Amino acid sequence: MRATGVVRRIDDLGRVVIPKEVRRTLRIRDGDPLEIFVDRDGEVILKRYAPVASLEDNAKEYAVSLYENLGNPVVVADTREVIAVAGFSKKEKGKEISGALEDVMEKGELTVLKDVPLVADGMPVFPEVAVAPVSTGEAIVGCIAVVAKDALKEEALKAIEVAARFLGKRMLQ
């Protein structure tokens, strides 16, 4: 663990402010859910809550299924990082997603992007990427991205959309 040199007091309601610099560095935004852990030494650990990560097995199976049926590499991500891949190196798992994918999630609808990377650094730019946000109905919790060399057919786009809806519904169970 790394010290920041910042000390904050807990107020009378039990709240503590996370400094803006720390939030910016960790890419924590207003309204982002945080998970609270306590270790054996009594240290409190705050971690961005990633509900899609709890569906990692389903995400992996769906990514593999899409890859086998479409023949295109697939990435499943939560709102911050890659949680499952098929057709890519497993090294991509855990990497921070690109701003382009974040933008599509904010938009909230299936979008086909041109010449974009999937992760913030270390992965090449792809000629075409179809991105479908994964939504629980209340919030966008991640996305499914499929890479293509040529334009994806309408059936492929529908399959990506169905996969995203399925993972969103699984989140509600």
Residues 164/136, Cβ–Cβ less than 8 Å? no
In this prediction, residue 29 carries a pLDDT of 80
Mean pLDDT of 131-143: 88
90 pLDDT above the threshold of 70: yes
Task: Find the mean pLDDT for residues 120-145.
Answer: 87
Q: pLDDT category, 73, cuts 50, 70, 90?
A: very high
**pTM (2 d.p.):** 0.72
Q: Report the 10 Å Cβ neighbour count for 54.
A: 15
Determine what percent of the chain is predicted with pLDDT higher than 90: 42
Q: How far is CA 75 from CA 25, 41, 90, 93, 162, in A?
A: 24, 37, 10, 9, 15
Q: What is the pLDDT of residues 7-58, one digit of tens each?
A: 889 999 999 999 888 888 777 888 778 888 888 888 888 877 766 666 677 8
